[in-house]
A and B are shown apart, each in its own frame.
Chain A
């Protein structure tokens, strides 16, 4: 995945049933970023196979200097996704970006977990490993509760 992201902006047949243009990677997650949902909820399972990959439409991030930088999101941030024609909130659970903090790994894909408006996860299990600091942060405790493995 990392290697493919470093290719120049051209249209590439990535998988036979899906072709989209891959732009030069900006390593944060922002609007229109394609994302991989790691829930076991029905919407997640359908959304991953839908004609369009789930993408971020909006990042809920406080204290963002909107005039200077793009609205970007990272590990543990809440975002709005467009899945299967619907809008759904989600929390970013894994980044391909190399985050230069100790003991924070980089992941294979940009993983995301769907939540509802109250912040409760929709699915019952998370299939991918989750960074360990999710356990200590209070607002992410609900997701840490349904996680299977921690990194």
Chain B
């Protein structure tokens, strides 16, 4: 019994499943299910189908080059049966799979973590660019308020930058703690406008 991999989606084909197609140039295509078989017949490129492993590796979403993949290569040399060798290989397989899944997970997490940083930066940019939509409706000196908020954001960014700098000395940590103490909180107060106050008075 041999577990093959599907040509299209790279999943394992268990015995009793799938279709095997042989081309006249002796190339064998194995498909795990009719979805993959039909995609192949439609001549779709597996690298473009987003759900296939080929696409994920092609676009760098999954781990591609890693020494742990070298263990699973096909070696066309026959090996004389040795019980010791078999047992060691089994243990090695378990360990290699452990390491491989860990590394694959790490690769994905690294990618996703970058996403959270990007989103944070985007949020800050959004606040900076659109703060004028958020100011209180009855603000007397709106520009002053915007400037205050922007200064607060700047101070926050500075604190953030300092935090990301590697190798903090005693001086910088003091600065950091000072910044943290001094950074004002951005408080947006919603005051009811005159119109709204009049309405509520009318209602009451």
Q: Name A's B-contacting residues (CB within 8 A).
A: 2-3, 36, 38, 94, 98, 102-109, 111, 127-129, 148-149, 151
Q: Name B's A-contacting residues (CB within 8 A).
A: 15-16, 19-24, 26, 28, 41-42
Q: Which residue of B lies closest to A106 (CB)?
A: B21
Q: Given contacts A2-B41, A3-B41, is CB(A107)–CB(B24) below 8 Å?
A: yes
Partner of A105, one of B15, B16, B22: B22
The 9 A-B pairs of least Cβ separation, nearest first, read A105-B20, A108-B23, A105-B22, A108-B24, A129-B26, A128-B24, A149-B26, A151-B22, A107-B22
Residue in B24, B26, B42 whose Cβ sees the most chain A Cβ within 10 Å: B24
Bound Cα distance A38, B22 (Å): 14
Assess the A151–B28 pair: CB atoms within 8 A.
Answer: yes
Bound Cα distance A19, B20 (Å): 30
Assess the B24–A38 pair: CB atoms within 8 A.
Answer: yes
Which residues of chain B are within 8 angstroms of A94 by Cβ–Cβ distance?
22, 24
Bound Cα distance A129, B26 (Å): 5
Bound Cα distance A151, B15 (Å): 16
Bound Cα distance A35, B22 (Å): 16
B19 → chain A closest CB, angstroms: 7
Bound Cα distance A151, B27 (Å): 9
Q: Which residue of B lies closest to A150 (CB)?
A: B26
Q: Which residue of A lies closest to B40 (CB)?
A: A2
Partner of A103, one of B20, B21, B42: B20
Which residues of chain A are within 8 angstroms of B22 by Cβ–Cβ distance?
94, 105-108, 129, 151
B23 → chain A closest CB, angstroms: 5
Which residues of chain B are within 8 angstroms of A102 by Cβ–Cβ distance?
15-16
Which residues of chain B are within 8 angstroms of A98 by Cβ–Cβ distance?
19
Bound Cα distance A23, B117 (Å): 61
Bound Cα distance A148, B26 (Å): 10
Q: Kindly list 7 other residue pairs between chains A and B, CB separation below 8 angstroms, not including A3-B41, A104-B20.
A: A38-B24, A94-B24, A105-B20, A105-B21, A107-B22, A109-B24, A148-B26
Bound Cα distance A99, B21 (Å): 11
Q: Which residue of B lies closest to A96 (CB)?
A: B21
Bound Cα distance A12, B26 (Å): 28
Q: Which residue of B lies closest to A149 (CB)?
A: B26
Which residues of chain A are within 8 angstroms of B19 by Cβ–Cβ distance?
98, 105-106
Which residues of chain A are within 8 angstroms of B24 by Cβ–Cβ distance?
36, 38, 94, 107-109, 111, 127-129
Which residues of chain A are within 8 angstroms of B28 by Cβ–Cβ distance?
105, 129, 151
Assess the B20–A128 pair: CB atoms within 8 A.
Answer: no
Partner of B26, one of A36, A104, A109, A128: A128
Residue in B15, B19, B20 whose Cβ sees the most chain A Cβ within 10 Å: B20
A129 → chain B closest CB, angstroms: 5
Which residues of chain A are within 8 angstroms of B23 by Cβ–Cβ distance?
107-108
